Amino acid sequence: MRTQVAIVGGGPAGLLLSHLLHLQGIDSVVLERRSQEHVQQRVRAGVLEQGTVDLLREVGVGERMLREGDRHEGVHVQFDEERLHIPFTELTGRAITVYGQQEVVKDLNERRRADGGQVLFEVDDVAVHDVTSDNPSVTFTHDGVAQVLHADFVAGCDGFHGVCRDTIPPDVRRVYERVYPFGWLGILAEVAPSTDELIYANNERGFALHSMRSATISRFYLQCAPDEPLDNWPDQRIWDELGTRLAAPGWKLQEGPIIERSVTAMRSFVAEPLRHGRLFLAGDSAHIVPPTGAKGLNLAVADVDRLAEALADHYRTGSDAGLDEYSAKCLERVWRVQHFSWWMTSMTHRFEGPDHDFDRRLQRSQFDYLRSSTAAATTLAENYVGMPLR
């Protein structure tokens, strides 16, 4: 097999990159180890920055998102029972859209299929070779047949547990990591949202977040131990804890059947550089952010948007300037987002230890500053809605 760009990973990053390249007349093949059904059913991030929304609309895969997505022009930040509204659109002129990552994947898969794109699901034994040569390749097994895919470039969009990042030699790659001492218990419930905007709540008992997926499905998160057994959280305990941590005067939490629950560890991770020879990393294969800032999917979109433009420039003009600066430019955004996600996490979560009371007073001060300062509120809003893609 031969293509111009071999893309390892058929999640949102890989599929969007393939679509963007197609619009530039560049061939690609996407290799995904999971089934199409699995990829389209994974419940992941649901907050899309303004830049992500604009890009998906501009490249022809945003019709259903605009029709079914839930546009939000602000967010609620809460300390104990005091709730503060941060008006995104008023402060920045931009907004966010709540639309599940799995829905983005469905839209991209349908578009790639309609355009005749090559997306191979359920591939095994993927390995990347010769990325520092002019003829890199990817070997894999599909339908029991061993194959070799030759390409001009390889894009590693295969997530944190993929194979592409480890292709970069340890003496070339540097890793930065922070593991937080807590996790998130994520809950999906068949109940209408009890709020007009997302609520980030800092309570003495720990962090809570009220989000939503649709007019009838709500998404909740509770700070918990990173290795918390799910058996410790029967339905009524979940609702009682959410009711306590999200409590505010005159507000009531609606309860309903819980249809999904899981525990996610909290971590920050960056692998530098994002390029080695003709291999380019994008999305979770290169970086992980705590979900507090809702940036994971949006960072992946920014990566592949920049990579697609750099590859298009290479094929169109012969210039490699965009490819040469890809890693450095992406990392500028990655570290800005890492800082914002750390800041949001530090402001909203309970930290145990001898400094707990001191930390809590700092969090209280930050909340008061957001309430009293338009500049402080604008900083939060500007980072949350996202910087322009370019």
Give the model confidence (pLDDT) of 300-349 as tens digits.
Answer: 999 999 999 999 999 999 999 999 999 999 999 999 999 999 999 999 99
8 A C-beta contact, residue 32 and residue 120 = yes
Taking the CA of residue 65 as centre, how many other CA atoms within 13 Å lie in the half-sphere pointing to its CB? Answer: 29
8 A C-beta contact, residue 389 and residue 51 = yes
pLDDT band at 27 (very low <50, low <70, confident <90, very high): very high
Catalytic residue among 99, 180, 200, 326: 200
Distance separating alpha carbons of residues 370 and 87, to the nearest angstrom: 12
Strand 5-8 vs strand 153-156: parallel, antiparallel, or unpaired?
parallel
Catalytic residue among 76, 291, 314, 326: 291
The per-residue pLDDT for range 176-186, each reduced to its tens digit, is 999 999 999 99
The predicted pLDDT at position 234 comes to 97
Sheet holding 153-156, edge to edge: 118-120, 28-31, 5-8, 153-156, 279-281, 275-276
The answer to whether residue 384 is catalytic is: yes
Query: pTM for the whole thing?
Result: 0.95
The answer to whether residue 329 is catalytic is: no
- CATH superfamily for domain 180-266+350-385: D-Amino Acid Oxidase, subunit A, domain 2 (3.30.9.10)
The predicted pLDDT at position 43 comes to 63
The predicted pLDDT at position 46 comes to 83
8 A C-beta contact, residue 201 and residue 246 = yes
8 A C-beta contact, residue 35 and residue 122 = yes
Two tokens at 233? 């959280």
Nearest Cα to 106, choosing from 61, 54, 53? 61
What integer is the mean pLDDT of 151-168? 97
- Consecutive H or E run containing 228: none
Distance separating alpha carbons of residues 348 and 149, to the nearest angstrom: 47
Distance separating alpha carbons of residues 314 and 275, to the nearest angstrom: 15
The answer to whether residue 38 is catalytic is: no
The CATH code that applies to domain 5-72+97-177+267-344 is: 3.50.50.60
Supply the Cα-derived Rg of the chain in whole angstroms: 21
8 A C-beta contact, residue 12 and residue 108 = yes
Question: Nearest 5°: phi and psi at 42?
Answer: -70, 120
The predicted pLDDT at position 346 comes to 97
Catalytic residue among 99, 221, 326, 384: 384
Distance separating alpha carbons of residues 316 and 357, to the nearest angstrom: 59
Whether residue 41 has pLDDT greater than 90: no
Give strand pairing partners of 138.
128, 149
Catalytic residue among 22, 295, 314, 349: 295
The predicted pLDDT at position 44 comes to 66
Q: Which of 41-45, 123-127, 135-139, 149-153 has the lowest mean pLDDT?
A: 41-45
The answer to whether residue 295 is catalytic is: yes
The predicted pLDDT at position 40 comes to 79
The per-residue pLDDT for range 104-119, each reduced to its tens digit, is 999 999 999 999 999 9
Determine the residue type at 130.
Answer: D
Whether residue 45 has pLDDT greater than 90: no
Q: What is the mean pLDDT of the chain?
A: 96
8 A C-beta contact, residue 219 and residue 198 = no
Whether omega before 273 lies within 30 degrees of 0, making that bond cis, reads: yes
Angle at alpha carbon of residue 300, lines to 87 and 308, rounded to 5°: 120
Question: Nearest 5°: phi and psi at 285?
Answer: -65, -20
Catalytic residue among 19, 22, 72, 287: 72
Whether residue 54 has pLDDT greater than 80: yes
What integer is the mean pLDDT of 56-62? 97
The answer to whether residue 72 is catalytic is: yes
Place of tokens 């012969």: 318
Taking each helix axis as running N to C, give the angle between helix 296-317 and helix 326-348, from 0 to 180 degrees, rounded to the nearest 10.
170
Query: CA-CA distances (angstroms) from residue 83 to 242, 250, 375?
Result: 15, 11, 18
User: Is 301 buried (19+), middle (13-18) or exposed (0-12) by CB count in 10 A?
Assistant: buried
Per-domain residue ranges of the chain: 5-72+97-177+267-344, 180-266+350-385
Taking each helix axis as running N to C, give the angle between helix 374-385 and helix 356-372, from 0 to 180 degrees, rounded to the nearest 10.
100
